[in-house]
Amino acid sequence: MLTTITRRIRGLAVIGAALVCLNPAWAADYPERPVTAMVPFPAGGSTDLMARAIAQELTDSLNTNVVVDNRSGGAGTVGLAALARARADGYTIGVVPAAPLVNQPHMHRTPYDLDAFDYVCQFFESPQALAVKSGSPFSNLKELVDYAQAHPGELTYGSPGPGSLPNLAMEQFLEKAKVDITHVPFAGDGPGVTALMGGHVDLYMTMSNVIADRDLKSVAIFSEQELDTLPGVQTAAAQGYDMTASWWGGVIAPKGIPDDARDALEKSCLQATESERLGKVLDRLGTQAVYLGPADFRAKVESISETNGRLIEKVLKNRS
């Protein structure tokens, strides 16, 4: 009798081991090894610093190391191409700003599209604002638009370059306002803001924190709500122009990661955006923690990609 029972127990153990081999997910819960977070920009920049901050939060909540891997080049496209080719097992994720997703595929042929990724969460966002120098006669959008309508093509605005998020936001606003203001591109916010302060351009579209940190004023914030950092400045929507614009991004992964990995990463992202530690890092970088779950994040990417694609086509056509 004892021998028969022993044989049955051994048989069940063999069957159980075989089933575990057939389905490794039964062997351990996700994650069972470190996770790599690809960043499509160099070390030391804003995206890299945010990636390292959220990687620390994910490390704590997932109880495994989340290691940052910088894959820079091609304005973010090199890193996203590498991410799209990575194994969809949940152990390679990406921390990305919006532009390589919603802008670059419309400007160049990229080895990925929006369907190449799973969208885990948005975790940061920084509203854009339209800046003027402190002595500007413009204090709101009505004054600006009235003048631009009476003097078409006279005013100039600066941005970090054609196809950048601020450039496209400004072009969207000009469409809504039905005015003609000449674009002057710069190689980044540094020279652009300097030109604005020196009176070489009349307006500059940039992130709200850039204005708050300098002797500038803003005629509108392109956010859903007013900001404490720019007291008294109304949103564009409150001034009659129904649009928002911001620098934003989040966590994505190669298309088709397992459900348990997606669920764990989504939960960890939500916890991260509620973290005081992450909030302090984002605040120093001039942005803030704003969470969107997978469905809303993907919908936002698709919607803005469609809008920016149309605007990029218009911008490139005007340059030719």
Using CA atoms, how far apart are residues 188 and 75, in angstroms rounded to an integer?
A: 13
Q: Kindly state the DSSP code that residue 180 receives in the 8-state scheme.
A: -
pLDDT of residue 163: 86
Using CA atoms, how far apart are residues 78 and 310, in angstroms rounded to an integer?
A: 23
Q: Angle CA(71)–CA(78)–CA(272) in degrees, nearest 5?
A: 55
Q: What is the pTM of this model?
A: 0.83
Beta-sheet pairing, 66-70 with 35-39: parallel
Most confident range (mean pLDDT) of 30-34, 131-135, 190-194 is: 30-34
Given a cut of 70, is residue 293 above it in pLDDT? yes
Given a cut of 80, is residue 266 above it in pLDDT? yes
Please provide the average confidence, as pLDDT, over all residues in the chain: 88
For the chain, how many helices (H) and strands (E)?
A: 12, 10
Given a cut of 90, is residue 254 above it in pLDDT? yes
pLDDT of residue 28: 55
Residues 53-93 pLDDT 10s: 999 999 999 999 999 999 999 989 999 999 999 999 999 99
pLDDT of residue 5: 42
Pair 101, 114: CB distance under 8 Å: yes
Pair 113, 101: CB distance under 8 Å: no
pLDDT of residue 316: 76
Share of the chain above pLDDT 90, in %: 70
Using CA atoms, how far apart are residues 212 and 26, in angstroms rounded to an integer?
A: 52
pLDDT of residue 319: 67
pLDDT of residue 12: 43
Given a cut of 80, is residue 127 above it in pLDDT? yes
What pairs with residue 119 in β-bridges? 252
Average pLDDT value for residue range 238-252: 94
3-state SS track over 119-153 = EEEEEEEEEEEEEEECCCCCCCHHHHHHHHHHCCC
pLDDT confidence tier of residue 285, bands split at 50, 70 and 90: confident
Choose among 123, 57, 91: nearest CA to 297. 123
For residue 60, the SS3 value is helix
Given a cut of 70, is residue 1 above it in pLDDT? no
Structure tokens at 146: 């009235």
